[in-house]
Amino acid sequence: MATKYVNAVLSEQQGDGSLPVIDGVLGPSAVDIQTLYARHSLLAFDPGFRSTAACKSAITFVDGDKGILLYRGYPIEELAEHSDFVEVAYLLMRGELPTPLQRKNFDEAVGSHNLLHEQVLSFYRGFRRDAHPMAVMVGVVGALSAFYHDVMNIRDANDRQIAATRLVAKMPMIAAASYTYSVGRPQRYPNNKLDYASNFLQMMFGTPNREYIVDPVLARALDVIFILHADHEQNASTSTVRLAASSGANPFACIAAGIASLWGPAHGGANEAVLKMLMEIGSVENIPKAIARAKDKGDAFRLMGFGHRIYKNFDPRSRVIQAQAKKVLAHLGKDDPLLEIAMHLEEIALKDEYFIERKLYPNVDFYSGILLRAMGFPMNMFTAVFAVARTAGWVSHWLELQEESHGIDRPRQIYVGKTLRHYSEKK
Ligand code: CMC
């Protein structure tokens, strides 16, 4: 079949076939193709959504060419330096930084929703003890929809805020319990005298038989990790949450879908994959071999923690994470050989034509695994930590979506299967 083309011309005049262009506040404009099918019987084909804006959003802005990330207009570097995760969660969910009174009320709301229903804790016993924490989290967060369904009306703005706050509040205990269950330790409860990150640390690493003293340097580093991972506009897991939510599904079920999407190694699972890769490389001398493998199209190996669908420049989060990793290692008096391998790998890759041409830079996951390992997190918890943080973003997008009324998301397809045939013709 001969290839046919449609010529699109940007014009100030409206012609018969013309489609409107819509502008955002920042970033590229978009051709509004909502009437394309009705007017021209044509679909838009964009697998992987490389050129598709799936929605309008006022939450997060990413400029991948310049390496800029803004939450509600605030640069990520400023938030990582001056804010804390709970304040950032409020900012993402409500649109503005809280006043002191709003902050106090939000802290109280998070503090009153951070426990898990005791029956939820019994779910954990149904999992194999060697289950991946992300598998457990998908199950437990999905199961929460059985606890908060009939009592919640998603058409009610107040109910929606409560559901969103519940999710942000409960996620540290959900994640910590998925770890303590796997190592056979009793689960500790949140302590409202502690901040969000400190609470997560004590629930992860504390035991009931001795006092757990939170190291403020580690708590701050974890808080920064949470801030950096809190949102990233329409990434795969957030888009999954929005797609699931478009049908009016229960928010806990929608967030469980987001956790499932985040788990993959091309998304949140990359931090775990980076550490495995650095261990496999083993020493600085083996780096050229790893680089050669990453460039070889016949080899499925990729440099994990490198490249990003949107960033074609440094991921602004990777610099902040690298600085935190160095700070924590110095504070703990640890000397992680993997940090040395990572820094050499970055240096060599950034000078290599293959990576330069394709604009492949270290992303947020390149150093986060090293930092989390230094803090004592086991490798299989890395993506779970990401999920705790990203919950703030997921619920913010869920809240935003509920304010819109574009109906259920229903992508179309280009059918490439068999044409009509009949069962009676079966051979
Ligand atoms: N190592 C080697 N080559 C790479 C890499 C890599 N990490 N990433 C991309 N490429 C190459 C790819 O082979 C392709 O080459 P060619 O044009 O010759 O075919 C070119 O760069 C473009 O790659 P792509 O797959 O079209 O890029 P993408 O936008 O679809 O993929 C990505 C983005 C993040 C999935 C990919 O860069 C990747 O797999 N990176 C490693 C995994 C990773 O670190 N993921 C974490 C992403 S950040 C955290 C998050 O958002 O969750």
- Residue 410 tokens read as 């229903």
Tell me: the pLDDT tens digits for 58-77? 999 999 999 999 999 999 99
CA distance 215 to 273: 27
Tell me which of 365, 397, 409, 422 is the catalytic residue.
365
Q: How far is CA 43 from CA 35, 283, 356, 382, in A?
A: 10, 51, 35, 40
Q: What is the mean pLDDT of residues 367-389?
A: 94
Tell me which of 232, 308, 315, 397 is the catalytic residue.
308
CA distance 354 to 363: 17
- 136 band by pLDDT with thresholds 50, 70 and 90: very high
φ, ψ for residue 145, nearest 5 deg: -65, -25
Report how far ligand 1's centroid is from the alpha carbon of 13 (Å): 40
Q: Which residue has the tokens 């079966």?
A: 426
CA distance 372 to 368: 6
Tell me: the pLDDT tens digits for 248-264? 999 999 999 999 999 99
Report how far ligand 1's centroid is from the alpha carbon of 269 (Å): 14
Which atom of ligand 1 lies closest to the CA of 267? 52
Amino acid sitting at position 377: F
Q: Is the pLDDT of residue 52 over 90?
A: yes
CA distance 292 to 348: 11
Tell me: the pLDDT tens digits for 308-331? 989 998 899 999 999 999 999 999
CB atoms within 10 A of CB 399: 21
Best residue among 235, 308, 383 to mutate for probing ligand 1, ranked by most atoms within 8 Å of CB: 308
Ligand 1 neighbourhood includes 363 CB (under 6 angstroms): yes
Average pLDDT, the chain: 93
The backbone region for 95, taken as left when phi is positive above 0, alpha when psi lies in -120 to 50, beta otherwise, is left
Q: List, in order, residues 6 or more apart from 364 with CB less than 8 Å away.
A: 228, 229, 315, 317, 318, 321
- 272 band by pLDDT with thresholds 50, 70 and 90: confident
Residue among 256, 275, 402 nearest 341 (CA): 275
CB atoms within 10 A of CB 65: 11
Ligand 1 neighbourhood includes 233 CB (under 6 angstroms): no
